[in-house]
Amino acid sequence: MQNYITEFWQLDLPVGWETEEEEGVVSLYDPDSSGTLVLSASNEEEDISDDYLEELLSEHIDAGADIEDVEYNDFSGVSCCYDDAEEYWCEWYLRAGPILLFITYNCPIEDEGNEEDVIESILESLALPNDKKLH
């Protein structure tokens, strides 16, 4: 595992995984696999509320998606997974104080579940950078 650190978050990246960063959006992927984990962050003026997270997920809630509460170290929020016509998707809306993370994972439907354990281990390592720890 290697530690990957940005201004707003850090996580452990499995050996062999690669990263691409463009305009604050970071894509993480195993070049030998078909899925991609994408993270973007923003620093809001106030702490992120439950209502704000629900508003972000409203389209999925209205469509009947199963919403799950999640917590990864410094971050907590909600997630949901769904299929569209060709791909399997998971989305996470996480917060730590005023920091909002939007994370997606997608892969072809036929590969659903292949990377579930490794994606979960990556997310379980997610934390604020040491200089941003909330007190």
Query: Which structural domain range is residue 97 located in?
Result: 2-132
CATH code, 118? 3.40.1000.10
pTM: 0.91
Looking at the structure of the chain, the number of domains it has is 1
- Residue type at 33 in one-letter notation: S
Q: Given this model, what pLDDT does residue 58 score? A: 84
Six token digits for residue 57? 């997920």
Q: Encode pLDDT of 16-39 as tens digits.
A: 999 999 988 999 999 999 999 999
Beta bridge partners of 2: 13
